Amino acid sequence: MRLAVARHDGLDETMVAKVDRWRTSDLPDAHKAAIELAEWLMTQPGQIPDELVARLRAHFSDAQLVELTVDVMKWNYQKVTVALGTDDEVRPGELVDLIFDEQGHWVRPS
C-alpha cells in the first residue's frame, strides 16, 4: 500500500523502486541505514549488528534513532492482527490509501 500523504509529499514509483532495491540503489547512506534498521526491527530486533548501530549513529542523533524505531514499531502493530486473521479489510480485495487528519488519526475512506 502506498500512503496518500507520501505521494502528496513527492513519493513516486521511481523512489518506490529505489527503496525496493535499496542495497544497490543510489539512495543516500543515511536512508539505506534507516531501511536496514527497519528490516532488523521487523525481523530480529534483538540482533541488530553493532556495525549497523555505528552507521546509524554516524547519520542520526539519539532522538532521531528513537523516533525511527518508534515509527517502525508503530507501523508494524497490525502484524499481530494480520497473523491472527482478525484484521478487517477496508474494502475487501482492494488496496486503499492511508489518509490521516491533522491530528494524525486515520480517516476511513468512503
Provide the number of structural domains found in the chain. Answer: 1
Cell numbers found for residue 17: 523502486
**Residue 23 to residue 81: CA distance in whole angstroms:** 30
Distance CA 25, CA 65 (A): 22
Task: Answer whether residue 95 is part of any domain.
Answer: no
Task: Show Cβ contacts of residue 16 under 8 Å, excluding neighbours closer than 6 positions.
Answer: 2
Per-residue pLDDT tens over the stretch 85-110: 887 777 788 877 777 788 877 787 77
To the question of pTM greater than 0.85 for the whole model, the response is: no
Q: Would you state the cell numbers that stand for residue 12, as one nine-digit string?
A: 513516486
DSSP 37: H
Domain residues for 75? 4-84
User: Does 23 reside within a domain?
Assistant: yes
